[in-house]
Amino acid sequence: MNKYIDDIGEKLNDISMNGFCDDTSGSVEYGLWSGKVNAEGMLAIIQEDDQGFFDYKLFDSEAELNQAWDRITEAESQLMEGIDN
């Protein structure tokens, strides 16, 4: 992960910092925060870790974005169940 990868990464970071993610998951306090973005013609999942490193992945369709997002939220749910038990 890089702090900012390129112009797209900077734009996605701006979107997330201004609260325009469609959904979020996780927390940097627990190591990783993820955000789902469907805005300004971009379909992406962005992530930031507890050291402030930022990364993203672009998708070609909403279906691909939603499938990837479902995997992230399912993995987080399983992790949190393990922590709570």
For all residues of the chain together, what is the average pLDDT? 88
What pLDDT shows up at residue 76? 83
pLDDT at residue 29 in the model: 82
Give residue 13's region: left, alpha or beta (phi > 0; psi -120 to 50): alpha
Q: Where are the domains of the chain?
A: 7-77
First to last CA, the chain: 31
Q: What is the pLDDT of residues 51-75, one digit of tens each?
A: 988 999 999 999 999 999 999 999 8
